[in-house]
Amino acid sequence: MKALIVAAHPDANSLTAALKDLAVRTLEAGGHEVVVSDLYAMKWQSAADFTDFDGITGTDFMHASGTAYETGRLAPEIRAEQQKLLDADLVVLLFPLWWFTVPAILKGWIDRVFTYNFAYGAAIPRYGDGPLAGKRAMLATLTGGRAGHYTPRGVNGPIEDLLFPLNHGLLHFTGFDVLPPFVAHSAVHLAPEAYADIAAQFRQRLTTAFTTDPLPYRSESGGDYTALTQPGGSELAPGLETPGTSGFGLHLAG
Amino acid sequence: MKALIVAAHPDANSLTAALKDLAVRTLEAGGHEVVVSDLYAMKWQSAADFTDFDGITGTDFMHASGTAYETGRLAPEIRAEQQKLLDADLVVLLFPLWWFTVPAILKGWIDRVFTYNFAYGAAIPRYGDGPLAGKRAMLATLTGGRAGHYTPRGVNGPIEDLLFPLNHGLLHFTGFDVLPPFVAHSAVHLAPEAYADIAAQFRQRLTTAFTTDPLPYRSESGGDYTALTQPGGSELAPGLETPGTSGFGLHLAG
């Protein structure tokens, strides 16, 4: 199978960088082909702007990006990343958790690569049957805080909920089967044995990445939501919720 | 009073840009002093890296940023933004919602400006009594989706929860009193009367920004959470939750 690892850390000696190398070795040892987008090493441009569209302006930024995609006029580095996504069977986004989400450079990869008409659009199904359906994706993130700060009652909020905009709003939205995230807490100034623990856990997640059950997110195209075009449409259909759930948890079946 | 507006849209003719100008006019008409950080116009660098630290490397990126802050060696454009924050009584972050959070350029403003030792640190209280306490902040965001997609049962998740990492994890974390967000949905190709509606609502929120009740987030330094240093510390103290709440909702009192 083919794997794409997208990594984002400014320090080539960071834990993120070490886990990136570990991921390459582990997946290659499993017989997979691995491509890496190391965003800092690539000096990836973060800010999405009209210079990506080869002179296309149009009426608004979103539709200009879609026109540029449709006509092959997107910046070459964006087309290259889109092709990597299309080629991949597994995508791993590997990053330190900065202010409870991805670093800007990785947000810029998302903003610029997941364009209108490629990743979403008026005629493109979302949440369960999107353009990247059939592929798997996994977030792998490192936090500086203690695990207890990210529990259901933790002061930062539950890590599953903090990652929902990425897991559900980006990956599930565009069709991926989304694996449970790999999360390592207290990932600052690690003692060797703590690193060995994290490395072993990450290796285990990578070797099972093609067999692990994905998160049971619901399907918009499959009828779990009221019709998009109704007033108040695209809401979870009555009675589907697991009793006792609310908020983001509603969107997990079973 | 003094207001800082941080705006992030690549199109100078966008709704975001129009609302930025409206905010300046409205706040100035109210007798306030207004400073604008228009990130695209400033060509703000998004990716946080070691070039911000005047040669300081240190053992890890976070602590290097803290050392650069303490010794006055942060990049001048970062120090300028930190000073704008210190000078402001009200901060408005104005942006289109891209993949359910801020555009990369605004994430880059957050990543680079909210450095260790300035915005957070081992000796700095968080969640209720931080370095920016006494100031107010408000998110103002525009979405392309329908309002129904962002309701408690909406397929995207509730907008309040999607904005929690910013409202609670950034603004409340660093001490701001966080106002309810201003959110305009279906903000694409607006008819004139729809624009007039949004403008009127935004104007009303700006004219009441110094009197509106902030969100009742709980206080870590005030004892709402178990002690940070306990195993499993920094969790909501037993019995404090509003009955029936869970997830991010636990962190709102009353």
Residues of B in contact with A110 (CB under 8 A): 99, 104
Q: What is the pLDDT of residue A104?
A: 98
| Per-residue DSSP letter, B148 | G
* pLDDT-derived band at A133, boundaries 50, 70, 90: very high
Q: In chain B, what are the domains?
A: 2-215 (3.40.50.360), 218-254 (no CATH)
Q: What is the pLDDT of residue B58?
A: 72
Q: What is the pLDDT of residue A184?
A: 97
Q: How far apart are CA B250 and CA B239, in angstroms?
A: 11
Q: How far apart are CA B219 and CA A88, in angstroms?
A: 45
CB–CB contact A59 B161 (8 Å) = no
Looking at the whole model, is its pTM more than 0.95? yes
Report angle CA B159, B153, A248 to the nearest 5 degrees. Answer: 65
Distance from CA of B89 to the nearest CA of A (A): 22
Do B248 and B161 touch, CB atoms closer than 8 A? Answer: yes
Per-residue pLDDT of chain B (254 residues; tens, 9 = 90+): 999 999 999 999 999 999 999 999 999 999 999 999 999 999 999 999 999 999 998 779 999 999 999 999 999 999 999 999 999 999 999 999 999 999 999 999 999 999 999 999 999 999 988 999 999 999 999 999 999 999 999 999 999 999 999 999 999 999 999 999 999 999 888 899 999 999 999 999 999 999 999 999 999 988 899 987 676 678 999 999 988 888 899 999 97
| Per-residue DSSP letter, A88 | -
* pLDDT-derived band at A222, boundaries 50, 70, 90: confident
Residues of B in contact with A165 (CB under 8 A): 99-101, 157, 162, 165
Do A209 and A5 touch, CB atoms closer than 8 A? Answer: no
Distance from CA of B233 to the nearest CA of A (A): 6
Comparing CB atoms, the residue among B46, B114, B241 nearest residue A46 is B46
Do B147 and B186 touch, CB atoms closer than 8 A? Answer: yes
Do B190 and B143 touch, CB atoms closer than 8 A? Answer: no
DSSP B27-96: HHHTT-EEEEEETTTTT---S--GGGGTT---SSHHHHHHHHHHTT-S-HHHHHHHHHHHH-SEEEEEEE
- Compute φ and ψ for B252, nearest 5 degrees: -105, 130
Angle between helices B104-113 and A104-113 (to 10 degrees): 180
Q: Average pLDDT in the A95-119 region?
A: 98
Q: What is the pLDDT of residue A198?
A: 97
Q: How far apart are CA A89 and CA B61, in angstroms?
A: 32
Per the model's pLDDT, the better-predicted residue between B252 and A232 turns out to be B252
Residues of B in contact with A170 (CB under 8 A): 99-100
Comparing CB atoms, the residue among A155, A235, A247 nearest residue B225 is A155
Q: pLDDT, tens digit, for every residue of A161-182?
A: 999 999 999 999 999 999 999 9
CA dist B216 to A54, B107, B168, B213, Å?
Answer: 47, 25, 10, 8
* pLDDT-derived band at A188, boundaries 50, 70, 90: confident
Residues of A in contact with B129 (CB under 8 A): none
Q: Predicted ipTM?
A: 0.97
Q: What is the pLDDT of residue B217?
A: 97
CB–CB contact A161 B158 (8 Å) = no
- pLDDT(A108) > 80: yes
* pLDDT-derived band at A223, boundaries 50, 70, 90: confident
* pLDDT-derived band at A209, boundaries 50, 70, 90: very high
CA dist A207 to A23, A28, A45, Å?
Answer: 9, 10, 32
